[in-house]
């Protein structure tokens, strides 16, 4: 079976929003093992939408629409599909009731125009919308299937996962299963070199690398008829990769570096404090994005000026004069200061040049020192990052979090 995606909405043709629906649906279809050869985007225009349906019907079996199911006269997907398939729209009392209830729940009287959304093509399968008023619809006719979904992603995605995936699974006997291993502290080309044999000689599961700022993802994918069959294969490949590069892998699938760190701190019953200069609060912000961070994050010192480094962290005048604020020595003193002036068991620090100005002959933009201190030791690391101010802040914050992660492993 071949699918085609048709996204309906003039706002897409004006570039007012980016089409995340096309990406989401494409990804899901790939996972389901259903082929997709074309995506089409068309405005809120009946003639042009019907033209798109006619073309898509010639080259695909399953037509998936997003958008154009709203209550206004602009919303024409239902009408266009009905006209194409020769179906009548009929009032569905149960849907009307559901829409009225939706408005009751949010404490608003149902506007008369919303009644339009209770008209559905005769014989259609109705997909409940738990996050809005427009129900989804599946129409089967002449060996073609039309699936109509609402445009807002927060309505469309839960509907797709709950109803459309189970519906589509019957059309595919093999799905793509994948697992993402997340690397930090090693570059894409180094990973490629170390995994050369695996990547070149491996067809199932397949391996693909994606580089991000100071982070690389390895996607391991396989097409199988069941989750269990896939799991064994993915487990085996994960073990082989871990045997070669395990120390650089911080997490799997959707885990973030800060989530992994908050979890490690919780498990070990430790608290962290942070002293930031060039990252300017980004590390504290990342850590406090994780729910429950208050159990493990004691405090942060954003010491941008030299005076702040001296007063808040006890960095010595001497060190600032002799080595400069961007130095191994100051990074170490900052980490020690954050440890000693808090209730934390471990502390990290950053000091560097985020740019665009501030570089000297010996200290270029992108030079960053990360410090770490516990009751037993203090250490520091030098990094050289490229990119603009925001990219350097992002890379430096991840480098510091990785220094913390490695220290926690052996704490």
Task: Kindly identify the residues of this chain, within the stretch 1-30, that bind its own copies according to CB under 8 A.
Answer: 12-20, 22-30
Q: Which residue has the tokens 């309906």?
A: 8
Q: Which residue has the tokens 């410090």?
A: 371
Helix axes 257-268, 389-409, angle to 10 degrees: 30
∠ at Cα 78 (72, 80), nearest 5°?
105
Measure the CA dihedral 178/184/189/195, to 10°. -50
Is residue 55 a contact point for its own copies (CB under 8 A)?
Answer: yes
For residue 290, the SS3 value is coil
Count, residues near its own copies per rule CB under 8 A: 72
Nearer to its own copies, 120 or 303 (CB): 303
Judged by CB under 8 A, the stretch of 116-124, 229-237, 278-286, 314-322 that binds its own copies is 278-286
Is residue 103 a contact point for its own copies (CB under 8 A)?
Answer: no
Q: What is the DSSP string of 210-274?
A: EEETTEEEEEEEEEESSHHHHHHHHHHHHHHHHHHHGGGEEEETT--HHHHHHHHHHHHT--EEE
Exposure pattern of 155-187 as b/e (b: 16+ CB <10 Å)? bbbebbeebbeeebeeebeebbbbbbbbbbbbe
Nearer to its own copies, 23 or 267 (CB): 23
Residue 218's beta-bridge partner residues? 181, 209
Is residue 267 a contact point for its own copies (CB under 8 A)?
Answer: no
Over the window 370 to 389, marking each residue x when it contacts its own copies by CB under 8 A and - when it does not, the resulting string is: -------------------x
Nearer to its own copies, 194 or 299 (CB): 299
46 CA to centre of own chain:
35
**For residue 198, how many other CB atoms are within 10 A of its CB?**
16
Report residue 388 as tokens: 């603009």
Nearer to its own copies, 231 or 391 (CB): 391
Q: 349-368: which residues touch its own copies (CB under 8 A)?
A: 354-358
Is residue 212 a contact point for its own copies (CB under 8 A)?
Answer: no
With CB under 8 A as the contact rule, the residue among 292, 318, 322, 386 that binds its own copies is 292
With CB under 8 A as the contact rule, the residue among 1, 2, 45, 192 that binds its own copies is 45
Judged by CB under 8 A, the stretch of 82-90, 196-204, 241-249, 285-293 that binds its own copies is 285-293
Judged by CB under 8 A, the stretch of 37-45, 113-121, 142-150, 372-380 that binds its own copies is 37-45
Residue 321's beta-bridge partner residues? none
Nearer to its own copies, 304 or 322 (CB): 304
With CB under 8 A as the contact rule, the residue among 63, 134, 274, 372 that binds its own copies is 274
Q: 298-337: which residues touch its own copies (CB under 8 A)?
A: 298-305, 307-308, 311-312
* Closest distance to its own copies from the beta carbon of 118 (Å): 26
* Closest distance to its own copies from the beta carbon of 388 (Å): 9
* Strand-pair category, 367-374 with 378-384: antiparallel
* Closest distance to its own copies from the beta carbon of 394 (Å): 10
Side-chain-side CA neighbours of residue 23 (13 Å): 4
* Closest distance to its own copies from the beta carbon of 283 (Å): 7
Q: 144-173: which residues touch its own copies (CB under 8 A)?
A: none
Is residue 46 a contact point for its own copies (CB under 8 A)?
Answer: no
Closest by CA position to 9, among listed 388, 1, 20: 20
With CB under 8 A as the contact rule, the residue among 230, 282, 326, 330 that binds its own copies is 282
């Amino acid at each position: 079976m071949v699918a085609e995606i048709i996204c309906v909405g003039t706002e897409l043709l004006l570039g007012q929003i980016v089409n995340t629906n096309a990406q989401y649906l494409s990804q899901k279809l790939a996972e389901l093992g259903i082929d997709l050869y074309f995506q089409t985007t068309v405005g809120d225009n009946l003639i042009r939408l019907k033209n798109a349906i006619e073309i898509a019907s010639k080259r695909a079996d399953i037509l998936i629409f997003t958008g154009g199911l709203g209550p206004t006269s602009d919303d024409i997907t239902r009408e266009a599909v009905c006209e194409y398939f020769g179906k009548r729209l009929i009032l569905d009392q149960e849907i009307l009731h559901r829409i009225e209830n939706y408005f009751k729940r949010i404490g608003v009287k149902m506007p008369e125009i919303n009644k339009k959304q209770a008209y559905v093509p005769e014989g259609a399968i109705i997909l409940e919308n738990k996050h809005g008023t427009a129900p989804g619809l599946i129409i089967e006719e002449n060996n073609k299937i039309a699936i109509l979904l609402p445009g807002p992603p927060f309505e469309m995605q839960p509907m797709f996962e709950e109803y459309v995936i189970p519906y589509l699974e019957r059309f595919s006997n093999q799905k793509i299963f994948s697992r993402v291993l997340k690397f930090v502290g090693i570059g894409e080309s180094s990973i490629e070199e170390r995994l050369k044999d695996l990547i070149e000689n491996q067809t199932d599961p397949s391996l693909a690398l994606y580089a991000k700022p100071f982070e690389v993802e390895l996607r391991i994918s396989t097409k199988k008829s069941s989750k269990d069959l896939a799991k064994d294969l993915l487990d085996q490949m994960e073990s082989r990769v871990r045997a070669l590069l395990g120390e650089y892998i911080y997490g799997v699938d959707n885990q973030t570096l800060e989530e992994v760190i908050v979890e490690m701190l919780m498990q070990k019953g430790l608290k962290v404090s942070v002293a930031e200069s060039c990252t300017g609060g980004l590390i504290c912000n990342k850590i406090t994005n994780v729910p429950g961070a208050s159990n493990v994050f004691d405090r942060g010192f954003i010491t941008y000026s030299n005076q702040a480094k001296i007063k808040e962290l006890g960095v010595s005048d001497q060190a600032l004069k002799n080595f400069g604020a961007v130095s191994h020595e100051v990074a170490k003193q900052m980490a020690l200061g954050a440890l000693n002036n808090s209730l934390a068991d471990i502390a990290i620090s950053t000091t560097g040049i985020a740019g665009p100005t501030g570089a000297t002959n010996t200290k270029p933009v992108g030079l960053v020192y990360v410090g770490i201190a516990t009751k037993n030791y203090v250490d520091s690391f030098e990094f050289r990052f490229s990119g603009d101010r925001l990219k350097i802040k992002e890379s430096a914050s991840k480098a510091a979090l990785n220094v913390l992660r490695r220290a926690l492993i052996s704490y």
